[in-house]
Amino acid sequence: MIGRFLDRTRVRWSIGVALPVAMILLDPAVFHSRMLGVGMPILGRVKPFCYVATAIAVSVAILFLWRRRPSAFVSGILGGGAVFATVLGCAILPFSALGVLLLGLGLLGFTPFLMAAVYSRMAKAAFPPATASSRRLVAFALGITVILGVSSAAQAAASRALRQSLADISTADAALAGRGVERLRRWSMILDLEGLIAAYVDETDPDRRARIASAYHELTGQDAARRAGELND
């Protein structure tokens, strides 16, 4: 009964495509802190991995729903998306359970499990119906490797960009600091810029601290000292 419901085309489009996009755009606390206001995002540090994994899963889901062609490789990517959504749901589960008490807001935190269920059903539907061969199994494994590997590479690259940019911004070289700010601007769509606040708080040199605060204000329009104070309250 539940399986047939999850296999409906409208449900697949709603939960497998529209819901992940809505979660990113309306995210109140997982990768942003726009609604809870004062706290650090729950999973801000792994935002690059999660955003890229979501983008890949949604894109492949659209491709499968549009073409409807069996593919072990596509099945593997959707299966990897199901694993990712399950891990994401488990990671925010304690916060979701607490958030239920806040006007039911925490119920949004259970949506990754819905996504995981839909992606797993789609992965099963996408796998070629013939008896599984070693070639199909390899293609399936490759699909899982692609979604998790590309997302991991994005996470590593974004983390490296943040570290390098902080090192550049902290120098007295205005040109180098400017390049650091521009690098962060390029990565800002998937990078958690609250990492600048952590560096600002840990920095003991007043000049370097001022440069970090200036970069944070340029990138976000917010005052670093005020934001650091909010996080310490």
Q: Identify whether 167 is part of a domain.
A: yes
Q: Which amino acid is at 70?
A: P
Which pLDDT does position 54 carry in this prediction? 97
Q: How many domains does the chain have?
A: 2
Q: Tens digits of per-residue pLDDT, 75-119? A: 999 999 999 999 999 999 888 777 656 555 556 778 899 999 999
pLDDT recorded at residue 179: 96
Residues 166 and 118 in one domain: no
**Of 102, 133, 164, which residue sits at a domain end?**
133
- Backbone dihedral region of 221: left (phi > 0), alpha (psi from -120 to 50 degrees) or beta? left
Q: Are residues 127 and 195 in the same domain?
A: no
| Radius of gyration of the CA atoms of the chain, in A | 21
Sites in the chain below the pLDDT cut of 50: 35-38
C-alpha span between 226 and 213 (Å, rounded) = 10
Q: Please report the pLDDT score of residue 29 as a whole number.
A: 79
Q: What is the pLDDT of residue 101?
A: 60
Range of the domain at 185: 155-232
Asked whether residue 90 is domain-assigned, the answer is yes
Residue closest to 172 by CA, chosen among 225, 212, 224, 216: 212
104 shares a domain with 205 = no
Same-domain pairing of 193 and 223: yes
Token output for 196: 């600048």
DSSP-assigned states of every residue in 20-50: HHHHHHH-SSSS--TTT-SSPPTTGGGHHHH
| Cα-based distances in Å from 185 to 27, 196, 208 | 20, 13, 19
Residue 142 belongs to a domain: no
Taking CA atoms, 72 is separated from 13, 26, 151, 160, in Å, by 20, 33, 20, 33
Looking at the structure, do residues 227 and 193 belong to the same domain, yes or no?
Answer: yes
Q: For residue 138, is it within any domain?
A: no
> In this predicted structure, what is the pLDDT of residue 94?
84
Residues 126, 14 within the same domain: yes
- The DSSP line for 51-83 is HHHHHHHHHHHHHHHHH----HHHHHHHHHHHH
Residue 70: per-residue pLDDT: 92
Tens digit of pLDDT for each residue in 127-146? 998 766 888 999 999 999 99
Cβ within 8 Å of residue 208, ≥6 positions away: 170
- Shared domain check, 116 and 11: yes
